[in-house]
Chains A and B, each alone.
Chain A
Amino acid sequence: DQQVKQNSPSLSVQEGRISILNCDYTNSMFDYFLWYKKYPAEGPTFLISISSIKDKNEDGRFTVFLNKSAKHLSLHIVPSQPGDSAVYFCAAKSGGSNYKLTFGKGTLLTVNP
């Protein structure tokens, strides 16, 4: 049973445009959400996170939106750059000091010059 779902395996956008990556979750106990980026032959690297007490968090070109009622979050990248081409993983955790993350299967983003 997949508790974190990324329904789009891939996404292709033009350089300079907005990239929107989506993530849905089913476990209402999740209270903290993270996005990781992964390049080939490297490990995932942390990108941005959001607590369930917020609905938006912004860091430079990256913004994460959380809609708790819909159990949905999205990552917006504006403007997209070719160097953003990577696999993006959505992850979620519950319960304070519990460090266990549940990951989605990832979305491959390709930004075309």
Chain B
Amino acid sequence: DARVTQTPRHKVTEMGQEVTMRCQPILGHNTVFWYRQTMMQGLELLAYFRNRAPLDDSGMPKDRFSAEMPDATLATLKIQPSEPRDSAVYFCASAQSGGANIQYFGAGTRLSVL
């Protein structure tokens, strides 16, 4: 049963601390997305990668957020320093190039910054 795996599922931290969220895309998928879901904004695209190269990170606050793909099986989203307004659910999704444009989502990381 292929699925996108995200860790941790929940994270509570204090303002100013570094937060790292991890995502394992579905094996064989070469496109990875990071989204943030809030009540006010809904699902916002933060960044996405194709073949591990960043294609678009225009949705990401550049001063504190960074996204990387160290290898094809791991994507990371880092916030440093974290702020209370970063509290949200962060989703990772992956897709297969040449497929039917279907993105498969992980279960998300619920982040609370106190």
A residues adjacent to B (C-beta < 8 A)? 32, 34, 36, 41-46, 49, 89, 93, 97, 99-106
Instruction: Determine the interface band of chain B, counting residues with CB < 8 A from chain A.
Output: 20 to 34
Contacting residues of chain B (77-109) with chain A, CB-CB under 8 angstroms: 91, 93, 95, 97, 100-108
Interface positions of B (Cβ within 8 A of A): 4, 31, 33, 41-45, 48, 50, 56, 91, 93, 95, 97, 100-108
A96-B48 Cα distance, complex, nearest whole Å = 16
Give B3 Cβ to nearest chain A Cβ, in Å.
9
Specify which chain A residues have a CB less than 8 angstroms from the CB of B93 in the assembled complex: 43
CA distance A93 to B41 in the complex (A): 18
Contact B102 A49 (CB under 8 A): yes
Q: How far is the CB of B79 from chain A (nearest CB, A)?
A: 20
Does the CB pair B42–A103 fall under 8 Å? Answer: yes
Given the complex of chains A and B, what is the CA–CA distance between A99 and B48 in angstroms? 9
Q: Which 3 A-B pairs have the closest CB atoms?
A: A43-B105, A105-B42, A103-B43
Given contacts A46-B104, A49-B102, is CB(A99)–CB(B95) below 8 Å?
A: yes
